[in-house]
Structure 1
Amino acid sequence: LRDNRIELVRSSWHELSINISDVTLSDEGQYTCSLFTMPVKTAKAFLIVLGVPQTPVISGFKGPVNEGVLVELTCTTIGSKPAANIRWFKGDKEIRGELL
């Protein structure tokens, strides 16, 4: 695996580390350390990367709307892992209801 963000660091003859800079969601996965002896010995670690959500975007209207019409506002965010908990508020009061 060739990646300029991953650096091998040898601290001593019995220790080898990797440094991963600018971790991204694609870095998540299983990493294996192997000792090439007879038999080969391995240790495995699973790296879990948490994604920071981007600022939410609201879509569904442009400018004033006429009284009596249906307006659907959609709040969208990407990059969140685990999934973001999206909630709506009018002023400082949370809007509650059933999900459709």
Structure 2
Amino acid sequence: MGNVFASSKHPKCDSITDTDRAVLKLKTQRRQLNAQRTRVESLIAREIEVAKELIAAKKRERALLALKKKRLREGQLEQIDAYLLNVEQVLANIESAQRQNRL
């Protein structure tokens, strides 16, 4: 008779929904994009250093090539930033929709 008001020993867990999986994928994507962004930023810094060294060594043509590579990396960085912004917006939209559903 004492079982009527007793709580269960294991709390009930909500099942993992498709939305939860999507949020996890987006957060993983965001982490990967941030890592890629850091890598590209370091490559840009390295290309600048290489260009400076080549100019000091009077190798103008190779220095120009290093600067072209730097410009290419900057384009990649802009693309990564655009993807990152898109992922952030989608995450914000999902979280906002989840808050609205709770109300």
Q: TM-score range by the shorter chain?
A: under 0.3
Query: How does the TM-score come out when normalised to structure 2?
Result: 0.22
Q: Is the helix fraction higher in 1 or 2?
A: 2
Larger radius of gyration: 2
Query: How does the TM-score come out when normalised to structure 1?
Result: 0.22
Work out which structure has the larger RCO, using CA pairs closer than 8 Å and 6 or more positions apart in sequence: 2
